[in-house]
Chains A and B, each alone.
Chain A
Amino acid sequence: MAKMLQIFAVLCALAVLGIWFALGAHMGWSRNQIETKKVDPITEIAFSEFEDGFVPGIDFLGAGLIGSGVLFAAGFFLSKLKPKTS
């Protein structure tokens, strides 16, 4: 059980890292909107259009890694609590 929890924690940490890298490794706060920059051809005004979308930031990475760390630690303590068989 404890071993399983630790393996799950490592998998969670890898998944969080993988998602963060795959979605741009954004070093700021997570975003709920994705910005696309455009230029109006007549007025030459640059403007942005926003679409709903998730860009994970370092808050996502931090929360994911801390959560994984807590799971891993819980697994570690569970293994210490396990009664020894002789």
Chain B
Amino acid sequence: MKLTHTLVLTAALVTAAHAAPLTFDFKDPKGVNNVIFKLDAPLESINGQANGVSGTVTIDPEKPDATTGKIVVTTDSLTVPNAMMKEHMLGDQWLNAKANPEITFEIKKVGEIEKKGDKGEAKVTGLFTLNGVSKEITVEAKVTHLPGRLAERSPQKTPGDLLVIRAEFVIKRSDYNIQPGKNLDKVSDEIEIELAIAGAAPKA
């Protein structure tokens, strides 16, 4: 009996010491994950949101610099409160959602990591693809690991962890061949992007 206890304890300690990287799935059935975009325009700034977020991020809490993953946003999930504006935005003159159905960010490098308990900040370099054009960009990301909190969000009370990623960055639409040099009096070249997404890693 004592031997069994010792074996179980040893196994638990070995598992903890060599904790496997966790893969977080960002397909959120609650529809909370969102990407906000803001553009300056003469009458009022254009504020929109996208919620067609998916993708995975694999992170090892012991080696956060080895984080890999890809976040995908479906182009046709981008919405603005004016129907005509949305139609133009997704049309072939602007984002061409039919030809470019996804906006993606693929993690290439994670550096300058500052870890404070379950929270952390890092500079994440990745390949950002918009309108079919890919460019390497670096964004500052804030990450919060919520161990064991998945059950609170899951109707089936699935045990597991949550990972919340927040990032704010600015891109230029001209860099992504979206009407470069055109309509600058109507819509600014710079686009502010705010990302707030939560991923789930169910425990097997």
Contact A45 B34 (CB under 8 A): yes
* A40 to chain B: closest residue by CB: B32
Q: Which residues from B are CB-within-8-Å of A40?
A: 30, 32, 198
Bound complex: CA of A42 vs CA of B32, how far in Å? 11
Contact B81 A35 (CB under 8 A): yes
Contact A31 B81 (CB under 8 A): yes
Per-position 1/0 for B16-48, Cβ under 8 A of A:
000000000000001111100000000110000
Contact A28 B44 (CB under 8 A): yes
Name the interface residues of B148-162: CB closer than 8 Å to any CB of A. Answer: 149, 152-153, 162
B137 at the interface (CB under 8 A from A): no
Contact A47 B82 (CB under 8 A): no
Q: A29-B82, A34-B81, A42-B149 are in contact. List 9 more A-B contacts (CB 8 A).
A: A32-B83, A35-B81, A42-B146, A43-B32, A45-B32, A47-B51, A47-B196, A50-B79, A50-B81
Interface, chain A (partner B; CB < 8 A):
27-35, 40, 42-48, 50, 55, 58
30 contacts between A and B (CB under 8 A): A27-B44, A29-B43, A29-B44, A29-B82, A29-B85, A32-B81, A32-B82, A32-B83, A33-B83, A34-B81, A40-B198, A42-B149, A42-B152, A42-B162, A43-B144, A43-B146, A43-B198, A44-B164, A45-B32, A45-B164, A45-B197, A46-B196, A47-B31, A47-B32, A47-B33, A47-B34, A47-B51, A47-B196, A48-B34, A55-B81
